[in-house]
A and B are shown apart, each in its own frame.
Chain A
Amino acid sequence: MSGYLFALTFGVLTAIWMILLLRSRHLREKYAVIWILIAVLVVVVGIWPSILAWLSRLLGVQTPLNLAFFVAALILLLLSVQASVELSKLESQNRRLAEEVAVLRTDLDELRTVQLGSQSGAGSYGSGQDRQGLQLPDWQLQDTPGQDLHSPDLRGQNLRSQDSLEEA
């Protein structure tokens, strides 16, 4: 009986803990609900131990406690798989964000360089340099993808450069 009392206390404490975590927004409902359900389950079985005995008779499990262990292990397995899935999702979102930030930062750098160049009349470093230093043919200067930033019709430019590829 004292064993069940222990389970009862544990269940109640877990439920209170989850509610506190929820209150302070350290835990989202999505994850808290399952833990609260488990805590309630433990409390219910703690109050009426005969439920466990009845269930194990029903399922053909000889020792009721073995059923409890099995269910507990199963729940833990499912929860940790769910956590891994969520973690993978977050990781890939995190990567995407990092890539996106890097692309945007590069664009920003380029815009700044172009702006600096148009203000002072000479690009001093970075993307400005390869254009000025290497004397590219005129058409390519117009078609320079770095300047697509300013042209709203990016798709058209894209097609044009592909056409010239196929003609070649």
Chain B
Amino acid sequence: MTDLVPLLIILPALNEQETLPGVLAEITTALPTAHILVVSDGSTDATAQVARCGGARVMDLPFNLGVGGAMRAGFRYAKTHGYTHVVQVDSDGQHDPALIVTLCECMNATGADIVVGARFAGVGDYRVRGPRRWAMRLLSAIISRVAHTKLVDTTSGFKLMGPRALELFAIDYPAEYLGDTVEALVIAARAGLRIEQVAVHMRPRAGGRPSHNPLKAAVFLVRAIVALLVALLRPRTRIAQDSR
């Protein structure tokens, strides 16, 4: 299926000139027919040039909008250009592009509107500890209830969105911190979209290490809860009936 429909792969990138060429090369090898859009989120390095050289289309945001803003711009691009399926992939090399096919297979098999590549679902050795882990557990417990399906990794940035999700997210995609992951899933679930997950392994980031600072983790916990509460308090977004 992936080679019938032009799939759009969106990579939100903030100063990723080192890792981007490798990621782009991997994507083109894994999915030669897919189109790639790099959204440079106010990058101050050569991200845009590097992406162009790698054969991707480049959307250059005038200033930093965060992952949520970058993705919303990407969704708008996808919609105005008639794409039906969009994959979000991190540009730091954490996600293995070969797994995009796995996401697509899951969407085909289940008919889901959103497929999340989940890190804790038994594959790979991705681990977090302390408050951050509690926060992620709590989030997944609550969002699983809202979405009526088991979701273990609600903060994953590796997702496949189908036509109905695209329709919704082009209008309503939160730009706040954690909004693009947690809140977006809540919005989708409450709009009646089907969400599924696929276990994926994560690779260590090509540059920089994830932080294990307990204070930062506590801040993450608080912000995650705030983001979730705000998401649950907001009125539902309706998608147009003819979107299918």
Contact = CB atoms under 8 A, between A and B. Distances in A.
Interface residues of B, number: 38
B36 A101 contact: no
Contacts of B82: 145, 148, 154, 157-158, 161
A27 to B, nearest CB: 27
A68 B163 CA distance: 58
B28 A103 contact: no
Contact of A146 (B33, B35, B58, B76): B35
A102 B33 contact: no
Interface stretch (B60-68, B136-144, B191-199): B60-68
Interface in B69-104: 69, 72-73, 76-77, 80-85
Contacts of A109: 57-58
B1 A103 contact: no
Contacts of A145: 6, 8, 35, 81-83
Interface stretch (A7-15, A53-61, A69-77, A136-144): A136-144
A146 B52 contact: no
- What size tier do the contact residues of chain A reach? 35 or more
Nearest to A164: B4
Interface string B119-144: 00000000000000000000000000
A115 interface: no
Given A130-B55, A136-B33, 16 more contacts: A95-B65, A95-B175, A98-B62, A101-B62, A103-B59, A105-B60, A106-B60, A125-B53, A126-B58, A130-B36, A143-B6, A145-B81, A148-B82, A158-B84, A161-B84, A165-B84
14 contacts: A98-B61, A100-B76, A102-B60, A102-B62, A103-B59, A106-B58, A125-B52, A129-B55, A140-B33, A143-B6, A145-B8, A148-B82, A157-B82, A161-B84
Interface of A: 92, 95, 98-103, 105-107, 109-110, 125-127, 129-130, 133-134, 136-137, 140, 143-146, 148-149, 154, 157-158, 161-162, 164-165, 168
